[in-house]
Amino acid sequence: MSWRVLGLGALVLWVITLGVMVAMFVQGHTRLGADGRTEIVLAPAERDMVLSEMRHLLKAVHGVVTALSEPNQNFKAAEGAARAAGMQMAADVNPTIMLKLPLAFKQMGMSIHKDMDHLADGIAQGESSVQILNRLSSMTARCTTCHDMYRFATH
């Protein structure tokens, strides 16, 4: 067998592998659910980890709203709650889980973390309660869209 044929075979295998990885990165490990939403199929521990992150995000939103609803509007506490759910929170995501999540889900999730950092910056720069709540409204709209589109299933 010549080096040329061997090299061509290796190239074809590389392209196929790359194609499968790209498809997996975009589609994730999903299937159509009985309720019409896309089911993201994860191992139970992976599902628990993603749901834990979602709860953390919800607690951050609750922290911001609670701090702003106090009579003295504790902007420092609101900033801290938002910052805790920013990109730093997403820094140690398990790459195996990320491969199983569809691209649109990953994009929405990362945009929420980025927006939490922007929200914290806005609070620190003295934005009004109305501006902060408008930002939160935009963010939670993406949360509800995501929950309307996806659900988790275990294998």
pTM given for the model: 0.82
Average pLDDT over the chain, rounded to an integer? 90
Distance CA 127, CA 139 (A): 16
What is the per-residue pLDDT for 28? 85
Distance CA 137, CA 141 (A): 6
Instruction: For residue 37, report the phi and psi dihedrals to the nearest 5 degrees.
Output: -80, 160
pLDDT, tens digit (0-9, with 9 covering 90-100), for 48-81: 999 999 999 999 999 999 999 989 999 999 999 9
Task: List, in order of start, the domains of the chain with CATH numbers.
Answer: 3-154 (1.20.120)
8 has a pLDDT exceeding 90: no
User: Residue 61 half-sphere exposure, CB side, CA atoms within 13 Å?
Assistant: 19
Higher-confidence position of 7 and 111: 111
20 has a pLDDT exceeding 80: no
Model confidence band, residue 24 (pLDDT cutoffs 50, 70, 90): low
Instruction: For residue 139, report the phi and psi dihedrals to the nearest 5 degrees.
Output: -70, -45
Amino acid symbol at 93 = V
